[in-house]
Amino acid sequence: MNTRIFTLLVAFLATLSGAVWGQETTTAFSGGSGTDADPYQISTEEDLKTLATSVNDEKNDYKGKYFILTQSITLNENEEWTPIGGNPLYGGTAFKGIFDGKGYTISGLCIKEATFTGDGLFGWIGNSTTESFSETAGIVKNLTVEGEVEMTISTLAITGGICGYNYGTIQNCVSDISFDITYTQTVTVGGICGTNGGIIQNCVNKGDISLACQADAGYPACMVGGICGVSVGTIEKCYNEGDISGNNQNTDIGGICGSLQETLDEPPHINNCYNVGTLTLNSETGGDIAGICVVQGPENDSSKECFITNCHNYGAINSNASSIGGIFCGSEDVFYIKVNVENCYYINTITPDGTGEDVEGVEPKSAEDFANGGVLALLQKDNPGVWKQGDEYPIFLGKEEEETTIYQVTFNYNYEGSPEAITKNVAEGKSVTVPELTREGYTFTNWSTDEAGENMADISGTITPIASITYYAQWQAEQTEDPDDDNDNTGDDIHHPQRSIKYYNIYVDTICPGLEVETSKDVVQEGHQVSAYLTIQAECDTTGMRFEYKRGLFGYWQDLKELEGVQPGEYIIKNIYTDIYIRALDATLPEEEPTGLDDLEGIRAYAKEGSIYVYTPNREEVMIISMSSAILKREEQIGWQSYDVNRGIYIVRVGEKVFKLKN
C-alpha cells in the first residue's frame, strides 16, 4: 500500500508549532496535591471528566504531576467520551503527567465521533513532535480500559483504546475495547494506540477490531494493528489476542503493528511480541497483511531501517492480499526500509507469498513445535527472563515465575552415512512425537539408549521426557533370499517356520506407604528391558528401605537400586526372559497420633502401630477393607478388638457406620 499520504502528513504536522502551556492547576480532584508522594486521586467519573476539561480547555499539560486511580470506574456507556488531551499541532494540549491506574479498570468507554486530534481514553500522551522524547513526560501505566468504539469516519482519524497518539510511555496496560469502524478517509487504529512515537511495554489487546471502507470511498489508506496502527517508536513485550479484519485493497493489517515506519531519529523496534488473533483482509487486489507488522519506508531512501526480534505469530491469516507475511511483509512500491529481523517464528499453516517468505531470521514451525517447547527454546536463547511455555504456544513469564525447563531429546539414525540426528527441544511436562525412521535394505526394530542396543527403550507414539536423552535406532537387515536355498532351484515352496516370540508380565508386588512405583510397561518382549520408576514422599525415611526385583515366581530377590537408569528415579531391568516381580519395603513415615472418629453412637475406631482398634457396645459385623476394595477382615465382635494390618489407609465398616483410618 502507498502510505506517502500519511508520511507527508506527519512531516507537515512536525513543521507546525504547538502551544506548550504547563500552567499550574487549581482544579480539585478527590484528593492529593499532584506530587509523587501525594498524587492526585481519581476516584469517580467526574474526576476523569475534570481532568479532561482541565487539559483540553484550561490547557494544563500536568508535566511532572502524578495521578492515581483509587478504584475501578464505570463511565456512562451511552455518553460520548471526550479524550484527555489532543494533538498539540492542531491546537490541542498533550497530557504530560504520570497516570497510574494501580491495576484498576475504566469501563464503559464510548467513542462514536472522530476528533481528528486523537481518540481514546487519552487523545495525546507525551511531548509533541516538535519536542524531544522524554521518559518522564507522559506516562500511562497499570490500567485496563473496556468499552466500544463505533464510528463512521469521514476525516483523518487516529484511534486507540488507551490513546490516539503516544509520544510518551504506556506500560502494563490492557485494552478490551471492540472497534467497529466504517471510514471514507485515512484511518489509523490500534488496540492500545493509533500512532506510537514513544514506548509501549507489557501491554495486551483483547478486543476485536473491524474496519470497513465504504464502497464509494475509493481506496483511502487504512493502517490497523493489535497494539498500534502506525509505529515509529518502540514496542516490546506486548501481545494481541483480538481478531482484526479489513476490506480495502489499500489496507495494512499487522497482529502487533499495522505499519512500522522510520520518520524519527531512532529506528523503530518490535521486540519480544506475539500475536494469536485471527487476521483477515478481504481484498481481491492489493493490501498487506502480516502476523507481526507491515513494514514501510520513505521512497528511494534505503538508509532507513527497523528491527523485529524474538517474536512469534500463532494467529491465522485469511487473505488473498498481494503481500502476506507470517511475521512481516511490505508492498514493493514502499518497501525501501532495511528490515533487521532475527529469531522470529510463525505457525506453518500460514503460507506467505509476499515479502515474508524465505527471509533470514524468520522460520515456519509446526503446531507441535509451538506446543511442546521447540519454539520456546529458540525464543529463550540469549534472551532470558521473558518467555515460558503455554498450553499451545510460548507466552510471557509472570512476576516471580521461573523459566520453563527445556530438555533435548535426540533420535539418532545410528548407522554410518546416516542422515543427521533429529533433535527436539521439549518443555518440561510436554510431549514429543517419536519419528518413524526408514533405511533402505533394513527394518527398524526398536530404540535403545545406547548405540549397541543393550538398553532397549521400546518407545513409540509420543513420549514425555523427564531429562535430556538420546535414543539410537536399531536395525535388522532384510533377508532377500532364503538362506537354505543352495541355488539349485529346489525347495522354493518349503515353508521355514519362525520361532514364536514370547512375552513376559511385569508385576508390582508389595509397596509400603511413602513410596510409589510405576513401570514403563506391563508386558515385555523376551530379551528386552523394562524401566521401574521410584517416587519417594519428601517426609519418608528411606534409611532401611528395600527396593528389589526377582526373575520368576521362585527367583531370588535382588537389589534394584543398583540398576540405576539414565533419568532420575529410573531403574532398568534388562534381558528379560521370565516374569518380573518388583517390591519396595521398609520405608517409614513420621509416627502419627492415633487416627479415627471416637464415640460415633458408641462405636470407636482408631489406628496405631500396625493395628486397627475397634470398639462396639453391641454385637456388630466389622469389615476392614483396603483402598483397592479388597475385604481383609470380616467378623462379628462386641467390646474391643484389634486387627493386625500393614501400614496404609483402610476403610473400617461397622454395621452402617464407616471410618477411614490411616495406619
The pLDDT tens digits of the residues spanning 169-192 come to 999 999 999 999 998 888 999 999
Fold equal for 4-365 and 503-585: no
pLDDT of residue 84: 97
The lowest-confidence range among 59-68, 104-113, 596-605 is 596-605
Residue 219 — pLDDT band, cuts 50, 70, 90? Answer: low
List the one residue out of 151, 154, 128, 127 whose CA is nearest residue 139: 127
Q: How confident is the model at residue 194 (pLDDT cuts 50, 70, 90)?
A: very high
pLDDT digits (tens, 9 = 90+) for 255-283: 999 999 887 778 899 999 999 999 999 87
Q: Pull the grid cell for residue 400.
A: 516471580
Is residue 121 over pLDDT 90? yes
pLDDT in the model for residue 216 = 66
What CATH architecture applies to the domain 503-585? Sandwich (2.60)
- Specify the higher pLDDT residue, 282 or 434: 434
Query: Which CATH architecture group holds 604-662?
Result: Sandwich (2.60)
pLDDT of 238: 98
Q: pLDDT for 279-326, tens place per residue?
A: 999 877 678 899 999 988 765 566 788 899 999 999 999 988 778 899
Contact criterion met (CB below 8 Å) for 161 and 132 = no
What does pLDDT average to over the chain? 85
How wide is the angle at C-alpha 412 spanned by C-alphas 408 and 418, nearest 5°? 140
| pLDDT confidence of residue 424 | 95
Q: How confident is the model at residue 629 (pLDDT cuts 50, 70, 90)?
A: low
CA–CA distances in Å: residue 402 to residues 273, 396, 424, 637: 19, 11, 21, 57
Is the pLDDT confidence value at 473 over 80? yes
Query: In what helix (H) or strand (E) does residue 202 lie, and over which residues does it extend?
Result: none
Cβ-based neighbour number of residue 485 at 10 Å? 12
Give the model's confidence band at 23: pLDDT under 50 very low, under 70 low, under 90 confident, else very high.
very low
**386 has pLDDT over 90:** yes
The answer to whether the beta carbons of residues 625 and 651 sit under 8 Å apart is yes
Q: For domain 4-365, which architecture applies? A: 3 Solenoid (2.160)
Question: Which carries the bigger pLDDT value, residue 640 or residue 648?
Answer: 640
Tell me what pLDDT residue 631 has.
Answer: 80
Average pLDDT of span 84-113: 94
- Name the residue ranges covered by the structural domains of the chain: 4-365, 406-477, 503-585, 604-662
Which sign, positive or negative, has the C-alpha torsion 246, 252, 258, 263?
Answer: negative
**Mean pLDDT to the nearest integer, 67-88:** 92
Average pLDDT over residues 366-370: 95
Share of the chain above pLDDT 90, in %: 49
Contact assessment for residue 561 and residue 536, using Cβ atoms and an 8 Å cutoff: no
User: Confidence class of residue 493 from pLDDT cuts 50, 70 and 90?
Assistant: very low
Model confidence at 358: pLDDT above 60: no
Residue 195 pLDDT exceeds 80: yes
Mean pLDDT of 321-342: 77
Among candidate residues 261, 284, 234, the one with its CA nearest the CA of residue 335: 261
Residues 6+ apart with CB under 8 A from 338: 297, 302, 303, 304, 305, 306
Question: 571-583, pLDDT tens digit by residue?
Answer: 999 988 888 999 8
Residue 609: which pLDDT band, with cuts at 50, 70 and 90?
confident
The Cα 632–Cα 654 span in angstroms is: 14
pLDDT computed for residue 14 by the predictor: 38
Share of the chain above pLDDT 70, in %: 86
Q: Which pLDDT score, from 0 to 100, does residue 490 have? A: 46
Most confident of 21-35, 120-134, 593-607: 120-134
pLDDT for the residue 2: 46
Cross-sheet strand order for the sheet of 187-190: 157-160, 187-190, 222-225, 251-254, 288-290, 323-325
pLDDT (0 to 100) of residue 19: 33
CATH code of 406-477, in short, is 2.60.40.4270
Taking 50 as the threshold, does the pLDDT of residue 482 lie above it? yes
Full-model pTM: 0.70
